[in-house]
Structure 1
Amino acid sequence: MKTKIYYFFPLLLSTLLFFFNKAQAQNAAVVTGEISGKVLDETQKVFPYASVSLLNAKDSSSVRGTLTGDDGVYEFKSIQAGKYLVAIYVVGYQKMVKGPYQIGADRRLHAVGMVQMVVDAKQLKGVDIVKQKPLIERQIDKTVLNIENSILATGNTALEILQKSPGVTVDKDGKIALRGKQGVTVMLDGKPTYLSAEQLANLLRSTEGSAIQSIELITNPSAKYDAAGNSGIINIKLKKNRNFGTNGTISAGAGYGTYHKANGGLNLNHREKKFNIFGNADYGLNKRFGETDIVRVNNTAEDQTYFDQTSHSINTRKNGNFKAGMDYFINDHHTLGFFVNGYRSTRKSAADVLTLIGDQPGKTDSSVVAPNTGSSKYTGITYNLNYRGTLDTLGQEISVDADYSRYNGNEDNIFNNMFKNAVGQPLKPSYIFRNAAPSTVKIWGAKLDYTYPINKDMKLDLGLKSSFVNTDNNFLYENFVQEQWQNDVTRSNRFVYDENINAAYANFKTKFKNTTVQVGLRAEQTNSKGNSITESKIVNRDYINLFPSVFINQELSKDHEVGLSYSRRIDRPDYGNLNPFISYLDLYSYRQGNPFLKPQFTNAFEFSYSFKKSLNVTLGYSHTSDVMTDVLLTDTAKKTIFISIQNLAKQDSYNLNLSYPIAITPWWSTNNNLTTYYNSFQAPDILGAEYKSGRLAFNLNTTQSLTLNSSTKFEWSGYFQSKQVYGTLLIAAQYGVDLGASKSFLDNKLNLKFSANDVFKLQKSKITSALPSQNYVVNERWESQVFRLTCTYRFGSKDVKGARQRSSSSETEGRRVKSGR
């Protein structure tokens, strides 16, 4: 890859010059203009998400359409010379038409001004039309889920909401896949989460759905984003306050399934002319049960041993997170900000494990009874200092972020194994052992982003980023011998990992006529050192990679639009997965790290089609080399089953996504999403044989929303995930149905929401092996049927502008922090 760098930069430069010259020539020859305005509702407040159409004044034919933003403002840019009308239409209001407006050489800009909508007296009786964003929006480079007004988000955590999102699947351990592929980068408000898949799941379990405004699904990110995440980016945006004054929100909720649940949160914001101070805190308590049954056969040349292992566990989690910060507005063009956020997660578990062992199916020769206990504690804190400046009226901007994060974790488990004979009598002395896994992660990062608008149709983005990571994992294994704990040096291990990533990117975007083109290039240099101190193993890696991206969008007509995109991505191993230590789940089950894991690279292509901004179809293909995946194997010598992450040769993935929201009546709307995909995996050698697997699968999501009036709403949603293959695992179908209802009081200040998750108690997991030589079945069920009631009260000014959304400098490094479940 290093030898090819000098080929790519001249090619990128010539491509940019081509588009620049072509656009400049068109700008010189074609007269274009702009029409803008602002829409108010019947109470003279800004009207967001109103439909606005640009019409040809000659025959009232539609030229272009748009929606007003949060501030009620709309804009039509790059309008060719001619005479136009502006039509504003919202269900329940009279249609408003303004104009005509003449665009020509003598006048190119028209400000329509403020237009106040008038309620239509003919609207359906008994039904109040409520203006709000649709649940699902499709944009040129992403899909947006507007969670803010969804009942089903209430009481649910961010992780549970993701499980119901179109094209998203979440497995039993909280690992997230998008359109059938794992390796998703998750951000909160465009900021890094600094966590691995497992620790990220802990954070998302403690983030309440009532605090979420929207979720963005970005399947093909541009060069501006970090190259990590082979299946794309999920950005969770939290609710913000607006305008000047002081306000806040307080919420409390309770739930019950098999055990009780509770959640609460407080959000405060105060803004004056020069300062904006903000803060929030959330707390969650979740006690839940889990059942796991593993039936397997250990095959050797001499004999077969049958294992039937059943585990019943109760886990109690307490999660809390907070954020506090301040923005200082130096003047209208320059802002300096600081924030600190952190979280704390604790878990206590008690599991009763029974393992029946025999030489024939259904026969028990001996058994192991194990009352195992465990606890964990993870804390993290991030400090961020940021600056944003607008350098001129054309939109030239610069932003700088610097941050420091520190994470501490510890997990303690005690395994008490009592051996019994066929009739339940003691067979031999108990084997008692315990392990502890203290860990520390430190991350330093800084980034600079610069935007230069060449003209109104052309923009260039440039940026630099550097991050430094240090992790220290100390795994301690002790046996209980002669009434005291003794360290087992053969099973203990200390692992230290250091990594430095330096990156630079350029992203160019231009538009001419009905075509939008965006091309970008990102270069990342990685330097890493993994040091297994106990085993005296050191793995050094230094490499440079280029990550190009291309986006082309074409408006064929007012109703038809197509797009084509390409990007190259990388996924680096979680820091903990590189640690070669063995982490025991019980006497016969464990997880082992792999210090020789290599990063995986993905080339992704996507074609999209949109009809009337409603029916959306995307067709995608991606090829991943050295794909990292969990491999579940049996150790025939030790008669154990274990999980390790290995690099397979490649993965090819094909996907087709269809989304179609339907407004059945003014009070009944539905959103439907179907994702069909085919994943194939290949490796030259697993257990001494070539491995190939592939399977067609699909994911179906539907949400039905019924609005009785402005204060009462009902929702139900359902999902179905068909049987699929991932790596060496065959995962059975999963499905479920959720219900919800909400009622508002006191001028919408007080809101009560009721939700029922997995109403019919259908959710469960079944995993078998795609390897012919492996014979096991893993069945799991967890506490999925939960009923919740949540109360939210908003107080203070309604005109408070929220804190700026910041994107700090280490968004993917922290995501790879490894922790226990």
Structure 2
Amino acid sequence: MKTQIYNSFFLILGIAFLLLSETKAQTAATNGEISGKVLDETQKAFPYASISLLNAKDSTAVKGTLTGDNGTYEFKGLNAGKYLVAIYVVGYKKTFKGPYSIGAEKQSHQVGQVQLAADAQQLKGVEIVKQKPLIERQIDKTVLNIENSVLASGNTALEILQKAPGVTVDKDGKISLRGKQGVNVMLDGKPTYLSADQLANLLRSTEGTAIQSIELITNPSAKYDAAGNSGIINIKLKKNRNYGTNGSVFAGAGYGADYKVNGGLDLNHRAKKFNVFGNGSYSLNNRFQETDIARVNGTSTDQTYFDQTSHSDVKRINRNYKAGMDYFINDHHTLGFFLNGYHTNGDEAANVLTLIGDQPGKTDSSVVAPNTNTRKYTGITYNLNYKGTLDTLGQEISADMDYSRYSGVQNSVFNNMYKNATGQPLKPAYIFRNASPSIVKIWGAKVDYTLPVNKEMKLDLGLKTSFVQTDNNFLFENFVNNEWANDKGKSNQFLYDENINAAYANINRKFKSTTVQLGLRLEQTNSKGNSVTEQKVVKRDYLNLFPSVFINQELSKDHDIGFSYSRRIDRPDYGSLNPFIYYVDLYSFRQGNPFLKPQYTNSFEFSYSFKKNLNVTFGYSHTNDVMSEVLLTDTAKKTIFISVQNLAKQDSYNMNMSYPIQITKWWSSNNNLTVYYNKFRTPNLLGLPYESGRTSFNLNTSQTITLNTSTKFEWSGYYQSKQVYGTLLIAPQYGIDMGASKSFMDNKLSIKFSANDIFKLQKSQITSAIPSQNYVVNERWESQVFRLTCTYRFGSKDIKGARQRSSSSEAEGKRVKSGR
């Protein structure tokens, strides 16, 4: 392994040297530059306008780009010749500028500010206006523009992710990308500091009205943390633009089997020297969940049949907040501070009935259990940041320091009453309870530096360090003689400390029609897990190199191909390392594994694009020591339990195809198909070799009908075929959502209606891929929900919002483990 790492290191250094040499040889040949700025009809900066560079001789396309947030654009590395600049946006008159001559006498042209003229046209009563597409494909990522989507209103971030191409979300909120788990989720480029459970809670409380876009990055560069074997999902929240004060307020209500309410406020004020911002939201969600487990436990000669049904009523209250300030020292240096946090409270009342017999359909005894669960989680992150522009060529430096603290407690009471075949008491009730308080503290710091070597080459360098401390207690008590007594054999304290130090370098080089990016990241990890009660200590210290390669080739104006490679790591989340046993009910529990090892993944991806619309990618990844949830039955204790184990290997193949279609001027369609094959194998599971594999596919489609400038209708659907993950076989899942929106008062007031899972199709069924394990788990939850949301925007329309910051810990907080 070390030989492979060092060979990769020297190979990348060698290619980088060749790129630098090639740069010096070609700089003189391709030094031309044309730049400018686009304004709308009100003379404000026009972001995301389409700009084409044409040959003046025959008007053939040379290059294309989009304007940035400030309306500017530029074409660099131009050969000698005459060029035209074409600016085109739907709803505005097409504008041409030029010709501009590039040669030895003049190599640079400034087009200046170009103001577009509105050209709104009426087609059968339908007015066409400018709008970013719902799905955009870029070289290194896929972008979902959520801001104007009808279905985003009233839906949470987690529900919106379920509609994203290649993304699946299970009933527990665990996210997969192109058939693989282990996704690193960020907000505005900042870490979420949460485990899968807590992340799901946060995304459930993040309103879709607050989201600007979602970025899907399947093969991240070395600039990002090496964690996340299936890639990164970055959720970008809305931001304001220019000077003044403004804000928005929203309120919504929903109903499925029970009622839900949500609301929030967003404020921003910007002056010449500073920008102050803040927002807060509240949501109350009452819902239900039903779980049925039918299983056979025992040997061929001694079998016990369990038929368990459970109905849970869950009440969850979420509060999220964020506040901060940017201070503009001068035009080139900015100092910022922000804090964000959340509070989650939940109550659950579950009624569990377990029928037990020695034959199918026969009941010899039963257990009736009215169980209760209360939980409370809080988290807060403080960030201090700095950004400086060192010269006009684009040399930049940025720094971040963070401190985060998370605390949580979950209290469960299990009241198990034993009945005989006739429903009469069989023996005294068994009553026990669990308490699981936990505290997580995270410190982090990072520095990033960008150096433009010349107009065609850019070098990125960075350093990062993080420290994590966790303290998890698990208290198990039995109710004996009318008082609670601690069971020391089942109680436990688990301490975990971790330090990760990292450094990276990225080189990006643009040729005439080829872009090459090489990266190398080094991460040193030092960890110590201490099960205090059981006196078990697991220490690990390791050093890894993570190379990455990205190549994009423009074959012609209509055809592009690309290749990418990266090596990545996934470390166990802190809770999964804790060896305590957490009970779901008397016969079902979850157990941690302090001996979990990190998993390593090598990912390759080929891509093809036709006219920037039809996009096809082919991917392959190989993972060693893959961490997977394993659901097994214990024949001696007659229980069923979940644990995370290291299977030996996983091979994953995938093909993704997306094709947005403009059917008419008023009807657009986005379609995505992902086909993947996952294969798992390990030499020893329950004493035997294990291997499983299956070809599966996901299909997503969304249709948008724009009736006029203020009225829009959308519907979307998805289908996920049967798939295998680790030892689990997951049955097909599917659903259809609909929505409509109407705006008033010059778009200041908007009303949106949405219906999730309108035909009540969503459900889950899990069976075992291990032949010796005989169980079926059926789950149903409150998926059909109707929502109405009203949003009112007030104040100045010319506000520049807070800078989007990326804090100093990209992956640590994602592994914070909450109780379930």
Scaled to the shorter chain, the TM-score interval is: over 0.9
How many angstroms apart in 2 are the aligned matches of 1:352 and 1:304? 26
1:731-750 equivalence runs, <5 A: 731-750=730-749
Q: Does 1:449 align with 2:448?
A: yes
**What is the 5 A alignment of 1:350-749?**
350-749=349-748
Q: Which residue of 2 aligns with 1:116?
A: 115
Question: How far apart, in 2, do the equivalents of 1:401 and 1:42 lie?
Answer: 39
Mapped to 2, the partners of 1:70 and 1:464 lie a distance apart of: 28
Aligned-residue sequence identity (percent) comes to 78
Whether contact under 8 Å (1:49, 1:132) holds in the other structure is no
Closer/same/farther in 2, CA of residues 772 and 31 from structure 1, 3 Å limit: closer
Name 2:250's counterpart in structure 1: 251
Distance 2:376 2:733 in 1: 31
Distance 1:11 1:63 in 2: 33
Gaps of at least 5 residues in structure 1 are: none
**CA drift at 1:120:** 3.8
Deviations 1:497-519 (A, max 9, x none): 00011111111111111111000
The runs of 5 or more residues in structure 2 that have no matched partner are none
Task: Specify the alignment match of 1:12 in structure 2.
Answer: 12
Shift of 1:2: 5.3
Number of residue pairs aligned between Structure 1 and Structure 2? 820
SS in 1 for 2:127: coil
Preserved CA contact (<8 Å) 2:121 2:128: no
| 1:185 aligned residue | 184
| Distance in 2 of aligned mates of 1:59 and 1:32 | 22
Residue 156 (structure 2) aligns with: 157
- The answer (yes or no) to whether the contact 2:445–2:466 under 8 Å persists in 1 is yes
**Which amino acid is 1:545 matched to?**
N
Asked if the contact 1:170/1:177 (under 8 Å) is kept, the reply is: yes
Deviation at 1:40, TM superposition (A): 2.9
CA distance 1:122–1:302, shift in 2 (3 Å): closer
Report the Cα distance in structure 2 between the residues aligned to 1:637 and 1:560, rounded to whole angstroms: 62
Q: 1:171 to 1:560 in 2, by over 3 A?
A: same
User: In 2, are the aligned partners of 1:365 and 1:422 still within 8 Å (CA)?
Assistant: yes
Structure-1 separation of matches of 2:637 and 2:10:
57
CA displacement 1:312-346 (0-9 Å, x = unmatched): 00000000111111111111111111111111011
Question: Which digits, 9 at most, give the CA deviation of each residue in 1:464-487, with x for residues without a partner?
Answer: 111110000000000000100000
**Secondary structure in structure 1 of the residue aligned to 2:126:** coil
Q: Indicate if the aligned counterparts of 1:350 and 1:374 stay in contact, CA closer than 8 A.
A: yes
Q: Any conservation in 2 of the 1:250–1:265 contact (CA below 8 Å)?
A: yes
Deviations 1:351-398 (A, max 9, x none): 000000000100000000000000000001111111111111111111
Question: Cα offset for 1:129?
Answer: 1.8
Residue 53 (structure 1) shift: 1.6
Contact 2:275 2:802 in 1 (8 A): yes
2:83 match: secondary structure = strand
Matched with 2:811 is 812
Q: Deviations over 1:634-693 (max 9, x none)?
A: 000000000000000000000000011011111111111111000000010111111111
Q: Which residue number in structure 1 is paired with residue 322 of structure 2?
A: 323
Contact 2:279 2:323 in 1 (8 A): yes
* Structure 2 residue 308 is matched with structure 1 residue 314: no
Pair 1:91-2:90 in alignment: yes
Contact 2:608–2:615 at 8 Å: present in 1 too? yes
Structure 1 Cα separation of the partners of residues 725 and 6 of structure 2: 37
Higher mean Cα deviation, 591-600 or 42-51? Answer: 42-51
Classify the secondary structure of the residue corresponding to 1:489.
coil
Matched, 1:265 2:264: yes
- Cα offset for 1:5? 6.0
Instruction: Assess if the C-alpha contact under 8 Å between 1:295 and 1:308 holds in 2.
Output: yes
- Aligned counterparts of 1:104 and 1:730: Cα–Cα separation in 2: 64
Cα RMSD after superposing both structures: 1.2
Q: Distance in 1 between matches of 2:585 and 2:500?
A: 37
What whole-Å deviation, never above 9, does each CA across 1:258-307 have from its counterpart, x for those lacking one? Answer: 00001111111111111111111111110000100000000225410000
CA deviation vs aligned residue, 1:420-469 (integer Å, no higher than 9, x gap): 00010000000000000000001111111111110111111111111110
Task: Give the equivalent residue in structure 1 for 2:51.
Answer: 52
Q: CA–CA distance in 1 between the matches of 2:325 and 2:432?
A: 49
Output the CA distance in 2 between the equivalents of 1:505 and 1:9: 12
State the SS of the aligned residue for 1:579: coil
> Relative to structure 1, is the Cα distance of residues 596 and 646 closer, same or farther in structure 2, using a 3 angstrom cutoff?
same
**Partner Cα distance (2:305, 2:624) in 1:** 37
Distance 1:337 1:31 in 2: 39
Query: In 2, Cα distance between the equivalents of 1:400 and 1:47?
Result: 30
**1:59-138 alignment, distance < 5 Å:** 59-120=58-119, 123-138=122-137
Q: TM-score if structure 2 supplies the norm length?
A: 0.99
Are 1:770 and 2:772 matched, yes or no? no
For 1:50-96, what per-residue CA distance to the aligned partner results, in whole angstroms no more than 9, with x for missing partners? 32221111111122222233333222222211111122223333322
Select between 10-19 and 213-222 the one with higher mean Cα deviation: 10-19
Q: Which residue pairs with 2:215 in the alignment? A: 216
Bigger shift: 796-805 or 70-79? 70-79
Structure 2 SS opposite 1:86: strand
